[in-house]
Amino acid sequence: MKIAIIGIGAIGALWAYKLQQAGHQVLTMTRDKSPTQLQIQLDDNPIQTFSANALSQLTTCDVILITVKSTQVNQAIAPLYSFITAQTPLIFLHNGMGALDTLGKQWQQHCLYLATTTQAAFKPSSQQVKHTGHGLTLIGRYQAHQPALSQHLLSQLNLALPSVIWDDNIQAALWKKLAVNCVINPSTAYYHCKNGALTQEQYHAQLHALIQECHQVMQLAGPAFPLDELQQYIYQVIEATADNYSSMYQDIQHQRPTEIDFITGFLLKKAKQYDLHLPTHSALYQQIKKLENDYS
């Protein structure tokens, strides 16, 4: 297959490497449009060279993976509109929710899919990627009327970077991931700690309040998970990623825009629609916004 990857961060680089290794023709699209080639080394494997930024090639792609952050979705794909046909499946993979709602109306005729993953990767330098945790990628429809992805496409993705599974109820998976990100990301960014530190006694009350407020919104706006199940799931992710610095922690450290508006901001917007007040999330949201505003 001919596959384009838009956004060569850690997860984009991992997918690019794995897909090319599996024999597919991979085109990479980077924020800086000038390079025509890109080199990536995955762990200790040989370096691979990729074609980069060949815009006209997008038209004949079998599938396009968009792995930019939620904050960059719109600006990354808007300039590519005239090169992408309405039949090409576009799979969006990022933290947070609501990013596709900001796309212009012209994209509504396209085949848009949402994905969420527990694969973990880290980019120690611009040409290196480390696969730090093996996981599961779920893909589902953005709009109910869309057809499912073809079995052929799903099995090729699954062969390249297992496991990939079609999920008819992707919204439930996205909400679960949103709850994880709402609890872990702003907390670790604000308290300057690794994910694992959040299990310490001093954060118990704060985490409990954050999880309970998430649960309140999910009961009305998302999938209904029992509170203890949600709590258990979030603590499992904290333990599985104990040694990681969350993406929001890293964004704050590097003075980059965070995904707070598509994580806690999305939760607060939903809460408002149901007249719910979330004091703990609101306070954390303001604290992250303050850190962003204080960038030098």
Active site residues: 177
Minimum distance between the CB of residue 118 and ligand PAF, rounded to whole angstroms? 7
Q: Which is nearer to ligand PAF, 243 or 275 (CB)?
A: 243
Cα–Cα distance between 247 and 122 in angstroms, integer?
Answer: 10
Q: State in angstroms the smallest separation of the CB of 237 from ligand PAF.
A: 5
Concatenating the DSSP letter of every residue in 19-75 gives: HHHTT-EEEEE-SS---SEEEEEETTSPPEEEEE--GGGGGG-SEEEE-S-GGGHHH
Residues 6+ positions from 132 with CB-CB distance below 8 Å: 120, 121, 122, 244
d(CA 183, CA 118): 16
173: exposed, middle or buried (C-beta count within 10 Å: 0-12, 13-18, 19+)?
Answer: buried
Cα 210 from chain centre: 21
Residue type, 22: A
Residue 20 or 241 having the CB closest to ligand PAF: 241
Cβ-based nearer residue to ligand PAF, 44 or 243? 243
User: Which residues of the chain form contacts with ligand PAF (CB under 6 A)?
Assistant: 95, 180-181, 184-185, 195, 237, 241, 244, 246-247
Instruction: Quote the least distance from Cβ 169 to ligand PAF, whole Å.
Output: 20
**Smallest separation (angstroms) from ligand PAF to the CB of 117:** 9
DSSP β-bridge partners for residue 48:
40
Q: Which is nearer to ligand PAF, 23 or 133 (CB)?
A: 133
The answer to whether 288 and 223 have CB atoms below 8 angstroms apart is: no
